[in-house]
Amino acid sequence: MKVIRGTIITIIIVFMLLMGIAAPAAFIGLAVFLIGLYFSNQHRKDKINFKKSGWIMAAGFILSIFLATADSDATETVNEPEKEQIQSEENEAEKKAEDEKLAEEKAEEEEVKKQAEEQERLEAEQEEKQKQEEEVKQKQEQEQSQAAESLGLELVTVGRVVDGDTIEKSDGRKVRLIGVNTPESTTRVEEYGKEASQFTTSELTGKKVWMQKDVSDTDRYGRLLRIVWLDIPADDMDEDEIREKMFNAHLVLNGYAEPSTYNPDVKYSEYFRKFGREAREANKGLWSLGDEGTTKGDLDSAAASGTSSNTGNSGSNDSSSAGNTTSSESGSESYKNCTELRKVYPNGVSSTHPAYDSKHDRDKDNYACER
């Protein structure tokens, strides 16, 4: 019994110690319990006559429990504001984090929206720019078309080059360039003929050019007679524009052709002669091979022009009726151009006629100034 009683008391004391640790006020109950235990031991030893020690121990145990519970409630009551403050701080922190997240999401949405608006603005500007460019282009094309029409220009594509002064359109029609004569490079070859042909090939093959008629439409071989413009001139009689934009002029200016005038296509003949003299003075191209060049043209001297003795011709031989005509004792006749020659010989003259001059034989068929 003593062992059981001691074990129970030990358990009670340990339990009360734990309560005292959790709630210090419970130690009061433990003290009362120990006092009661002391009285009980003294009574057992008959040292005192106190029979109520068990009640004191019970009261101490109960008091310990009561004080522990009361202290716990008080502690909870005291800590409640702190808990509420901590909870409030946590709630505020969570709310702040949530607000920050919402702010970030809103900022991202605004940035995306801003980028979308900027993209739309750029696309709208680009579209407007393209629209304006298209309007400008259409206006330019319209003005270009009106300018071309006013100057009698026709837009064509060059299919191939026959030689320096003859080309072929993409539709197969051959075109003889007006007012110029390049050295031959096809059925026969004259000096600098290949160079002239190569220049024309490099400049015109596959290109779109503007063609202009003077007076004649075709020659006796059915070839179109045309001026070739690389770009539409504002004024087709302005020398600077002729130098810059007319391909016929380029041939003469660069020494690939001699000026060669045949009536009635004389619109640019004075310019061509001027350009030819410039090229000859600079020894350009075919002029570097001699003052007479390498083919026939307007700048050939009278001494170099081909003549022959009078072997008879069915045409009139009345040279006195032609202006700008000279006669030599050998019977040869010289005319400034085909207009003057046709006043005397309306149908032209053959190479055996004394009035024949190779510079008037444009197509080199041994017949000058034929119609």
Query: What value, to the nearest 5°, has the Cα angle with vertex 234 and ends 229 and 240?
Result: 70
End-to-end CA distance of the chain: 163
What average pLDDT does range 24-29 have in this prediction?
79
- Position 320 scores a pLDDT of 32
**Per-residue confidence band for 303, with pLDDT thresholds at 50, 70 and 90:** very low
pTM of the model: 0.53
DSSP-derived secondary structure for 144-213: HHHHHHHHTEEEEEEEEEEETTEEEETTS-EEEETTEEPPPBSSSB-TTHHHHHHHHHHHHTT-EEEEE-
Asked if 356 and 308 touch (Cβ cutoff 8 Å), the reply is yes
The β-bridge partners of 97 are: none
Q: By mean pLDDT, which of 9-23, 106-120, 181-195, 315-329 is the weakest?
A: 315-329
Closest listed residue to residue 181, CA positions, set 276, 302, 41: 276
pLDDT value, residue 126: 93
Average pLDDT over residues 154-160: 96
Highest mean pLDDT among 62-71, 237-246, 305-314: 237-246
Do the Cβ atoms of 208 and 144 come closer than 8 Å? Answer: no
Q: Which of 11-15, 52-56, 185-189 is least confident?
A: 52-56
Rounded to whole angstroms, the Cα distance separating 278 from 285 reads 12
pLDDT digits (tens, 9 = 90+) for 75-84: 666 566 777 7
Q: Residue 199 has what pLDDT?
A: 97
